[in-house]
Chain A
């Protein structure tokens, strides 16, 4: 196993070779980030305050397809994926990831350029068992989907 492409490279080793090129190209993103980053929301310490800083409690929407593990393999790096069903929810311009029980619940924000298929995937830290929220902003309204991720001490299985 492992050799999954004709070049005989795993995707990981392929990226290791090519990522050097991308780092240089990615630098100007930092300048953009400062303008987009909702500093106040990132500093909030409760779920309620985070929602307030983003503009209110979002409405639940089935248009947000939110994938998280039921039980985290490693609470320090929990993979989350947000897809938007554009037949239900159109014109999404921002996607937020919120981890309810973290000291600062807002974990990530993604800017979605107009006329693109919204999709975000990242790793977030989850300090303890609790709800994760994917929030989408569309036409000034906030929508959300929540899922519980359990963080366990591990062991004793089987």
Chain B
């Protein structure tokens, strides 16, 4: 009977040991259940080639021994996406997540809930309440420790005010790598120490190192970020001296940076990672000069929850276990308290959120190294509305998925564009400048050294054809730029629409422009997704076309 019950409840995961950490990351403010399609292009080059997280589709399933056409396969891959999504239903949702967390905590005394950041941004209500909805929901969820990235795009004052007025006594906001620009003084606490069932455990926070590069620096004036490997080592040594028997880095570095960091820094038992939205089914064991560090990455959008257990005896780890659990909304009863809070949060905005802008015939998604269909829609809208030859849209990795024959509501649109610097701009750019932009972003994605990558995917393009060789050197990856079949002239000027500039610019918010276009279209038909010609990849398991 017990065995049968266990197979019926995929979340009945027996704990081991005495130190229990639950980890979520990159929820991007998705309070409600969503669909989220994993990438079919997550290319790894050089050391990262054909290594987790750079495995997609069948290659990922084979590496992790997951059977095709199963619930697990749907969670981790893009394969047969629309049909599988209809069969297995939505993922995430804070009320469902709350139930799962309570269930796991019930058999894990003293378990800590850690959030890796990108919690307060990504939805209409998060933008309209300046993150307050997510702060309230995450307090009820019981997040003990967090770090940040998009949080900082609310501005330094708002972040400090939330920490002071809301998080105090509930959630420790940590970032060892954010320092005052002039003197290098810490802006936030770097770590917390908690005793879990008699074992002293230190959690160190690592915010996204390139926030002021990838997002507007003026929103976080006076703060300097960076990886700060040396300061991290000093912090690890400090907490070890103070008796920590388990030391964990709660990181928003991104998976490849975490893997490199784990090989160079000593004394970390685990890095619980986020930022790159990679759902890695098992913990990677990375060797370093003094031992092994476990590296994980727990996906995004509330779709996954990680559970890490350590059995610590006499100050030593005797055993450990890591499970990444896909959060299938249909398999979990929503928690009544959380459901009620979410209803209260949404009630004042019900009319705006539910406005149907258009319907879509096609599957709309974003994630992947190159244009997703929702980005294509945004680029098409920008070109039409602003009468531009070319459109650029940022390669964000958040943004949920809509199944074919769905309504596109204002809430759905905001899940793609809800940022605090939404201005749309039109610029004249030379052909040479277009190439420079593509090369710059390509190097942020494919630099052989992950410390020189800043996350995100390739900038999305409308109207602009190009070829890309991910394995080539900086400045040499992009070629064959074209517009309507004609070669781009380096000296000629082109009219380019875009949004999300990291500089201070004026312009209409992106949701107004795309919203207007959708209302005029009424129905979005099959989208021709503009993909670059990808060269130089042979048997790359991170690229399924």
Chain A residues with a Cβ under 8 A of chain B? 1-2, 4, 10-12, 15, 67, 69-74, 79, 129, 148, 150, 152-158
Instruction: Say yes or no for B4: interface residue by CB 8 A criterion.
Output: no
Q: How large is the interface on B (under 10, 10 to 19, 20 to 34, 35 or more residues)?
A: 35 or more
Find out whether the CB atom of B217 lies under 8 angstroms from the CB atom of A153: no
Give Cα A143–Cα B441 distance, bound, in whole angstroms: 35
Considering the chains assembled together, what is the distance between the CA atoms of A154 and B504 in angstroms?
Answer: 13
A85: shortest Cβ distance to chain B, in Å? 13
A157 adjacent to B224 (CB under 8 Å): no
Please judge, given known A-B contacts A155-B500, A158-B149, whether A11 and B180 are in contact too, CB under 8 Å. yes
Q: Are A158 and B230 in contact (CB under 8 A)?
A: no
Chain A: CB-nearest residue to B437 = A153
A18 to B163: give the CA distance in the assembly, Å.
31
Contact string, B446-483, partner A, CB cutoff 8 A, digits 1/0? 01010110111001000000000000001000000000
Q: Closest 6 A-B residue pairs measured CB to CB?
A: A157-B214, A157-B456, A156-B394, A70-B451, A155-B502, A154-B502
Closest to B392 in A: A156
Instruction: Indicate the member of B149, B188, B215 with the most A CB atoms within 10 Å.
Output: B215
Q: Which residue of B lies closest to A155 (CB)?
A: B502
Q: Which of A11, A74, A148 interacts with B217 by CB under 8 Å?
A: A74
- Of A11, A15, A129, A152, which is in contact with the most chain B CB atoms at under 10 Å from its CB? A152
Contacts A73-B225, A157-B213, A158-B150 given; indicate if A152 touches B454 (C-beta within 8 A): yes
Contact A73 to B212, CB < 8 A, known contacts A129-B474, A158-B275: yes
Chain A residues closer than 8 Å to B474, beta-carbon distance: 129
| Interface pair A158/B456, CB less than 8 Å apart | yes
Q: Are B214 and A155 in contact (CB under 8 A)?
A: yes
If over half of B's interface residues share one DSSP class (helix, strand or loop), that class is named, otherwise mixed; here it is loop
The 8 Å CB contact of B215, one of A148, A150, A157, is: A157
Partner-contacting stretch, out of B310-318, B395-403, B518-526: B395-403
Are A154 and B224 in contact (CB-based, < 8 A)? Answer: no
Residue contact B394 to A155, C-beta cutoff 8 Å: yes
Report Cα–Cα, A1/B164, bound state, in Å: 8
B444 and A11 within 8 A (CB): no
Q: What DSSP secondary structure best describes chain A's contact surface?
A: loop
Q: How far is the CA of A72 from the CA of B51 in the complex (A)?
A: 28
Contact yes or no, B502 A158, CB < 8 A? no
Give Cα A79–Cα B395 distance, bound, in whole angstroms. 29
Given contacts A15-B182, A152-B213, 12 further A-B contacts (CB under 8 A): A1-B187, A10-B185, A12-B182, A12-B183, A67-B230, A152-B443, A153-B440, A154-B217, A156-B214, A156-B395, A157-B454, A158-B149
Residues B502 and A150 in contact, CB atoms below 8 Å apart? no
Q: Does any Cβ of A come within 8 Å of B142's Cβ?
A: no
For the complex, what is the distance from the CA of A157 to the CA of B502, rounded to whole Å? 10
Decide yes or no whether B256 CB sits under 8 A from chain A: no
**Please, how many angstroms separate the alpha-carbon atoms of A150 and B445 in the complex?**
13
Q: Which B residues are CB-close (under 8 A) to A69?
A: 226
- B501 located at the interface, meaning its Cβ lies under 8 Å from any Cβ of chain A in the complex: yes
Q: A11-B180, A71-B452, A71-B454 are contacts. A154–B185 as well, Cβ < 8 Å?
A: no
Known: A1-B163, A12-B180, A71-B452. A154 touches B213 (CB 8 A): yes
- The answer to whether B225 touches A158 (Cβ under 8 A) is no
Question: Which A residues are CB-close (under 8 A) to B32?
Answer: none
Residue of A nearest to B150 (CB): A158
Selected contact of A150 from candidates B441, B452, B455, CB within 8 Å: B452
Chain A residues near B451 (CB-CB < 8 A): 70
Interface residues of B in 141-183 (CB under 8 A from A): 149-150, 160, 163, 180, 182-183
Contact of A1 among B188, B275, B398, B444 (CB under 8 A): B188
